[in-house]
Amino acid sequence: GKSSTARLLDTLGQSGQAFSIDDLEQRLTHEALDESEGNLAAASRLLGLSRAQFAYRLKKQQPGGA
């Protein structure tokens, strides 16, 4: 099967339209969370981030976030 990284990169090709960096970050964080079944530490490893960095990015995506 495909590696997790390959599946994450496939996320980029699913939209036939342009997207912003913020949109890309949101898509990748949510895809990583789906892949890791909600495990923040595992999702952060998929993206090469620390758990704290990943949690910050999630919080930033929430209304009123950082």
Coil vs helix vs strand at 6 = helix
Q: How far apart are CA 61 and CA 37, in angstroms?
A: 19
Domains along the sequence of the chain with CATH: 4-61 (1.10.10)
Cα–Cα distance measured from residue 34 to residue 7, given in angstroms and rounded to the nearest whole number: 11
Residues near 29 by beta carbon (within 8 Å), at least 6 away in sequence: 43, 47, 54, 57, 58, 61
> Whole-model pTM?
0.68
The per-residue pLDDT for 66 is 63
Q: Could you read off the pLDDT of 6-62 as tens digits, one per residue?
A: 776 676 666 566 668 888 899 899 999 999 999 999 999 999 999 999 999 999 998
pLDDT at 39: 97
